[in-house]
């Protein structure tokens, strides 16, 4: 063999290859990045619920003159607070403000909170307006008529000091009944 002829290939002493651990580390990093991108893409494709629109406050009628005249919105006021004459005073204040209060009385049924009961959905705005004017309690739909009127206000102790009240008079159509005795 001549000195110019090459018999074998000699490897160079410098390494240009990456070490195996570096290749594995790069592959792991690439897998993590691809998984994150895939999850982000899936999240972007997921159907979204529409943004909730701001809900309107339920209609409230706080001015008795705004009530439809064909609607029977007569009111009975009952008191469970135990305060003498409280139902009569609140009923008189509501009647003086223009509400159609028919009767007031005490109640032997205990109640800790004030509730404005109404017996049909069309009276809901009126009942909410009454509860707002009383400054206590809430308006709730009843299963049936609780008194001789479609709206019955049951005053609880929470109405003391917040509900408008005035000295009852016997000069109108408003009937003030005494508080019934508990059995």
What is the average per-residue pLDDT within 11-35? Answer: 82
Report the C-alpha dihedral over residues 94, 119, 129, 59, rounded to 10 degrees: -160
Tokens of 179: 């508080």
Q: Model-level pTM?
A: 0.63
Tokens of 103: 């009767």
- pLDDT value of residue 180: 47
Longest pairwise C-alpha distance within the chain: 141
Q: For residues 75 and 52, what is the distance between their CA atoms, to the nearest angstrom?
A: 37
Helix, strand or coil for residue 67?
coil
Tokens of 169: 């008079």
Do 176 and 88 touch, CB atoms closer than 8 A? yes
Do 146 and 72 touch, CB atoms closer than 8 A? no
What is the average per-residue pLDDT within 154-164? Answer: 83
Q: What percentage of the chain exceeds 90 in pLDDT? A: 10
Grade residue 36 by pLDDT with cuts at 50, 70 and 90. very high
């Amino acid at each position: 063999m001549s000195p110019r002829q090459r018999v074998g290939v000699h490897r160079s002493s410098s390494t240009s290859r990456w070490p195996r651990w570096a290749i594995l580390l790069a592959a792991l990093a690439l897998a993590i990045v691809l998984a994150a991108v895939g999850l982000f893409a899936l999240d972007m494709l997921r159907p979204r619920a529409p943004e909730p629109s701001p809900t309107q406050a339920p209609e409230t009628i706080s001015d008795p003159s705004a009530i439809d005249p064909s609607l029977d919105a007569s009111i009975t006021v009952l008191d469970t607070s135990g305060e003498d004459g409280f139902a009569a005073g609140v009923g008189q204040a509501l009647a003086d403000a223009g509400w159609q209060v028919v009767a007031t009385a005490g109640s032997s049924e205990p109640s800790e909170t004030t509730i404005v009961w109404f017996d049909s959905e069309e009276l809901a705005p009126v009942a909410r307006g009454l509860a707002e004017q009383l400054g206590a309690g809430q308006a709730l739909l009843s299963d049936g008529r609780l008194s001789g009127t479609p709206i019955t206000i049951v005053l609880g102790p929470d109405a003391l000091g917040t509900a408008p009240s005035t000295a009852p008079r016997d000069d109108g159509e408003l009937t003030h009944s005494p508080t019934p005795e508990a059995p």
